[in-house]
């Protein structure tokens, strides 16, 4: 029986055959950009998509075996920004961005889980860079994927962590952020790379 990593790489390969292939974020995107190979176990595969692609991506996910999704986070009442699906051992997360002022924004109106025994902090939005979906294709263990841009990966992690919505960053996540800085932005300060975060009531 194939290991979880082998199943995930096969999923990434099948994703690459979709038209257009989806944008990968999270750990697999970081591994592809920083190492070109899987460096550690991953719990899931993460997609990032603009809202106007949602129905297309749900249809594509269905073709890949993910027939149902649960809403784990809303951008507004009744409007998801974070969807979770599972097919056997495989888990697929969809992160949905809205566009405003020429930028993708991840809007966190409400999260349907707890952090430290309390409802996860929400009520804000994180602005992502204009190049979020424009990164050239890269390879991971011979599989071609379309990853979110390095700046988008960095700012999404840092922006959400600043609000403690998923708890504190792990050592692994902090290491990935640091390596993205060193590889892609060696002359930029932390202030230069800091994401723009604002309350949703603004």
Interval 36-48 mean pLDDT: 96
Tell me how far apart the alpha carbons of residues 168 and 176 are, in angstroms, rounded to a whole number. 14
Position 201 scores a pLDDT of: 78
Q: Model confidence over 113-132: pLDDT tens digits?
A: 999 999 999 999 999 999 99
Tell me how far apart the alpha carbons of residues 135 and 138 are, in angstroms, rounded to a whole number. 9
Question: Over 60: is that where the pLDDT of 202 sits?
Answer: no
| The token pair that represents 84 in the structure block | 């979770």
| The token pair that represents 57 in the structure block | 């991506």
Look over the chain and give the mean of its residue pLDDT values, rounded to a whole number: 96
Please give the tally of structural domains in the chain: 1
DSSP symbol at 155: H
Question: Over 90: is that where the pLDDT of 135 sits?
Answer: yes
Position 145 scores a pLDDT of: 97
Tell me how far apart the alpha carbons of residues 95 and 121 are, in angstroms, rounded to a whole number. 17
Q: Model confidence over 66-125: pLDDT tens digits?
A: 999 999 999 999 999 999 999 999 999 999 999 999 999 999 999 999 999 999 999 999
Position 2 scores a pLDDT of: 87
Tell me how far apart the alpha carbons of residues 139 and 148 are, in angstroms, rounded to a whole number. 13
Across 37-186, the runs of DSSP E, i.e. the strands, are: 45-50, 69-76, 79-87, 90-100, 103-108, 110-111, 114-115, 118-119, 124-127, 138-140, 143-147
DSSP count for the chain of H helices, then E strands: 6, 13
Tell me how far apart the alpha carbons of residues 98 and 95 are, in angstroms, rounded to a whole number. 10
Question: What size, in residues, is the chain?
Answer: 202
**Which residues constitute the domain of residue 95?**
4-199
Yes or no: say if 16 and 143 are a contact pair by the CB < 8 Å rule: yes
Phi, psi of 11 (to 5 degrees): -60, -45
Q: Is residue 43 helix, strand or coil? A: coil
CATH number at residue 53: 3.30.460.40
Percent of the chain scored above 90 by pLDDT? Answer: 98
| The token pair that represents 143 in the structure block | 């599989």
């Amino acid at each position: 029986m194939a290991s979880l990593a082998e199943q995930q790489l096969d999923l990434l390969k099948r994703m690459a055959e979709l038209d257009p292939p989806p944008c990968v974020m999270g750990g697999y995107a970081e591994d592809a950009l920083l190492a070109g190979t899987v460096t550690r176990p991953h719990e899931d595969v993460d997609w990032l998509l603009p809202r106007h692609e949602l129905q297309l991506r749900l249809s594509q996910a269905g073709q890949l075996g993910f027939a149902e999704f649960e809403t784990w986070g809303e951008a507004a009442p009744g409007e998801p920004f974070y969807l979770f699906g599972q097919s056997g051992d495989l888990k697929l997360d969809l992160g949905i961005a809205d566009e405003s002022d020429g930028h993708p924004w991840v809007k966190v109106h409400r999260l349907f889980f707890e952090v430290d025994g309390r409802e996860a902090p929400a009520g804000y939005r994180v602005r992502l860079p204009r190049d979020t979906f424009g990164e050239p294709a890269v390879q991971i263990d011979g599989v071609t994927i379309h990853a979110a841009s390095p700046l988008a990966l960095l700012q999404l992690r840092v922006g959400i962590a600043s609000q403690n919505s998923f708890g504190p960053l792990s050592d692994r996540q902090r290491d990935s952020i640091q390596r993205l800085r060193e590889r892609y932005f060696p002359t930029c300060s932390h202030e230069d790379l800091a994401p723009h975060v604002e309350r949703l009531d603004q």
